[in-house]
Amino acid sequence: MSAPSSSSTPPIPAVPRRRGWSRSFYWGLALAVVIGAATVTVLDPLPYYETLLDHWFDPARWEPEVFTAMLHYILWLLVWLGVVAVAALLWSWLLRRQVTQRTRQLLRELHERQQVEVALRESEARFRDVTEAASDWIWEMNERLRFTHLSERFYALTGIAPHHVLGRARWEIGAADSAADLERWRQHRELLEQHLPFRDFVYQTRLSGNHNAGRYLKVSGKPIYDVQGRFLGYRGTGTDITEQIRAETALRESELRLRRIIDLVPHMIFAKDRNGRFLLANSATAKAIGVTVDDLVQHPHPIVHSVAEETERMLADDREVIDSGIPKLIAEETFTDHAGQTRTLQTIKIPFIEPGLNETAVLGVAIDITEQRRAKEEVARMRLYLKNIIDSMPSVLIGVDPWGYITVLNQPAEQAGGMSWEAAQGRFFGDVFPQLEGQFEQVRQAIRLGRPIKTPRMTLDIQGELHYADVMVYPLMADSASGAVIRMDDITARVRIESMMVQTEKMLSVGGLAAGMAHEINNPLGAILQGSQNILRRVAPDMPQNRAVADAIGIDLDQLHRYLEQRQVLRFLEGIREAGARAAKIVADMLSFSRRSESRFALVNLEEMLETVLRLAASDYDLKKKYDFKRIAIERDYDPALRFVSCDKTEIEQVILNLLKNAAQAMAEEGTPAPVITLRTRREPEHALIEVVDNGPGMDDKTLKRVFEPFFTTKDVGAGTGLGLSVSYFIVTEQHNGRLSVLSKPGQGARFSIRLPLSREAPP
């Protein structure tokens, strides 16, 4: 950078002294010698010379010719002088010319030198400017490595006074706090002592001016030598990098803090570029993948995570976010960690511009929701489980809030209300279950009092049929949701059974009465029956005793018999006998209801017993009139695992016989084309099952419901007492602690199932 002043003419420098002569000078001298020699030769001055010498040194020899010789000599001298003058003139001219030329040259040289100097100065200034711009200051050291010079800027920047620095070595102003620092200083000092150049040596000053802490300085230097190659010291530049160091430290700390923070976060935080390379990852991410953070960063996703399918999906998501520039929430995705365990992640991916790359990358935060998901699944499973439980309850369960709006229905409730849970939710329960509308008061009361309210045996009209129900309203005491559960149990069947049992109880008392009266009743019945038998026997003509008596009193027995026949006496007698037999049967049935103080329980071979009953049925006296048991195909389906049953043999025989007779009668009445009775036994965990299955007309619902009721009969009046099945029911349930049930549909036969406990408790 040249200053404007450099263009003015610089002062003419002094002409340098010359050593030797110029060439023209020698030429002139040579010419003069040649001319002189020629003149001498022409004039031959020597004789004159000798004459002169003689004259002067031999006065005797003073002669006139001497004057001539003298003239000659003078002339010779003049010639010489002329020659010299001409030579001098010539030389002078030559000289002047040379001087002019030389001056001109010098002037030119001078000007050039001036220009060079200006350029040099400019260059120097430029260099200094550049140097000072590149660095803060310039420093110089002497050969003893002591500072000799520092730019002003050094003092201004560091605030250190010159007298603290000048004459000191660098290590005298530098701080060394740690072993590493000491080592650095030692190396630096060694380097300087070896007179080697150095670059970018950073140190902190021990001294400080107005600043509390030492300044960070960065210096570079080169050794300087004189022409003889003698070490003169160092010269170099320095920069105050305190601010830079502080900024860097702050940045590093900030980065470190950020690092720590993201490493502390238990969720996976990562950033990836378009190619799936990790730009950033926290330790949670690295841990999940099973590598270190350093291994993860700068590596592409597929290399570090080996489950190809997951990787592809994740990369596709990354690209989607990068391409669209819209964050994406992946509510659930699977991820197989390094241990091979599948985890569920909830991930949000956000596009961002990676600083320095100027390219969109994706930042992801993935939260491991495996546990939550498991918990959620567990909750769902539990919910389903509870729903299954409440659905499997036979009771109608209706959950309502305090205002009577439906919150929950179980399956029986859905059926009863004719509406699904979803549809019924939020509706007033009285609208869905009109028959329960009146329970709203109980709901409020139950919630208010905090205890269940029961409405037993409520009568309901369901499709024109009278039903009974127990209704319980339970308050719900969960801390958040109050409300109530209405539980309704259709107890129609139970009520019916109960009423049946009431009747049975009545029968029992009748039975008790009958037992008390049995003797009194049976004796006259005995008299009637036995008397009838005796009468019939004693009027029979073929009995020898009769004939003997008849002969003795002189009457004809055959005539008498004909008379009795014609007057229907014998038929009446038969009628008396049958009536007596029927009365005896009724009494016997009724007596069955009386609880026997002593039942004879024994282990009975079931198959044998069934065969016995079958034989009894086939030869049944009463029933032969109505049907032919032999026409019925008997199928035996006996469980070989069930051989012995503990029971009162005669009683159970009676029950089975009764069932067989009923089945046979029903099939005979209906004219079932191929009547089949199946006798089946099965060993159940707790019970011995004996089934009597027929393929007869079956029963409708109404009959089915009343089939065990005493005195209920579908048979013609007089054909049955209506006690058979109720007695059977009594024997099985009361005396054997078992169960007697029936399954039937019209036209599909009937199946009676007797279940006797296998391990019998003490019989009642």
Partner 1 sequence: MTDWVLIVDDEAMIRENLKAYLEDEGWRVAAFESVAPALGWLRNGDPCRVCIMDMRLPDMDGNSAIRTLRQIYPDLEFLIHTGSSGYSLPEDLRAMGLDDSRVYHKPLADMAPLAAAARRLAMREDSP
User: Exactly one of 596, 615, 624, 636 binds partner 1 (CB under 8 A); which one?
Assistant: 596
Task: Tell the smallest beta-carbon distance from residue 539 to partner 1 (Å).
Answer: 12
- Residue closer to partner 1 (CB basis): 432 or 507: 507
Neighbour-count burial of 483, counting CB atoms closer than 10 A to its CB (0-12 exposed, 13-18 middle, 19+ buried): buried
Binding status of residue 479 toward partner 1 by CB under 8 A: no
Assigned token pair, 7: 């263009």
One-letter identity of residue 26 = Y
What's the min distance (Å) between Cβ of 534 and partner 1?
Answer: 5
Minimum distance, C-beta of residue 651 to partner 1, in the bound complex (Å): 13
Binding range to partner 1, per CB under 8 A, among 17-25, 83-91, 304-312, 522-530:
522-530
- Looking at 49-57, 483-491, 530-538, 559-567, which segment touches partner 1 (CB under 8 A)? 530-538
| DSSP-derived secondary structure letter, 735 | I
**Residues in the chain, overall count:** 764
Neighbours of 356 (CB within 10 A): 7
520 binds partner 1 (CB under 8 A): yes
Q: Does residue 580 interact with partner 1 by CB under 8 A?
A: yes
Scanning 95-103, 194-202, 551-559, 580-588 for contacts with partner 1 by CB under 8 A, the matching segment is 580-588
Q: How far is CA 616 from CA 56, 460, 623, in A?
A: 216, 47, 11
Regarding 533 and contact with partner 1 (CB under 8 A), the answer is yes
* Alpha helical stretches, state H, 692-751: 701-706, 724-729
> Per CB under 8 A, does 545 bind partner 1?
yes
Q: Output the smallest distance, CB 596 to partner 1, in A.
A: 6
CA 631-632-634 angle, 5° bins:
135
Quick note: the x/- pattern for partner 1 over 599-638, rule CB under 8 A, is -x--------------------------------------
- Edge-to-edge strand list for the sheet holding 396-400: 406-409, 396-400, 482-490, 465-477, 453-462
Sign of the alpha-carbon dihedral angle for 440, 442, 443, 444: positive
Residue 528 found at the interface with partner 1 (CB under 8 A):
yes
Phi, psi dihedral angles at 160 (to 5 degrees): -90, 135
**One of 420, 534, 568, 748 touching partner 1 (CB under 8 A):** 534
Of 252-260, 418-426, 458-466, 518-526, the window that binds partner 1 (rule: CB under 8 A) is 518-526
Q: Which is nearer to partner 1, 346 or 522 (CB)?
A: 522
Smallest distance from partner 1 to CB 519, Å: 4
Judged by DSSP in three states, 143 sits in: coil
Cβ density class 58-91: b for 16+ within 10 Å, e for less = eeeeeeeebeebeebbeebeebbeebeeebeeeb
- Least distance from C-beta 597 to partner 1, angstroms? 7
How do 482-490 and 396-400 pair as beta strands? antiparallel
Query: Which of 96/538 has CB closer to partner 1?
Result: 538
- Please tell me whether residue 221 binds partner 1 under the rule CB under 8 A: no
For partner 1, the closer of residues 452 and 512 by Cβ is 512
518 binds partner 1 (CB under 8 A): yes
Smallest gap, in angstroms, from Cβ of residue 530 to partner 1?
A: 4
Binding of partner 1 by 526 (CB under 8 A) = yes
Give me the residue label for tokens 């080697």.
Answer: 196
CA-based radius of gyration for the chain: 72
598 is a site residue for partner 1 (CB under 8 A): yes
Question: What is the C-alpha separation between 601 and 650, in angstroms, rounded?
Answer: 10
DSSP string, 286-339: HHHHTS-HHHHTTSBHHHH---HHHHHHHHHHHHHHHHH---EEEEEEEEE-TT
The reply on whether position 461 binds partner 1 by CB under 8 A is: no
Please report whether residue 543 would count as binding partner 1 according to CB under 8 A.
yes
* 147-150/633-637 β-pairing: unpaired
525 binds partner 1 (CB under 8 A): yes
Q: Does 579 bind partner 1 (CB under 8 A)?
A: no
Binding site for partner 1 (CB under 8 A): 515, 518-531, 533-534, 537-538, 543, 545, 577, 580-581, 584, 587-588, 591, 594, 596-598, 600
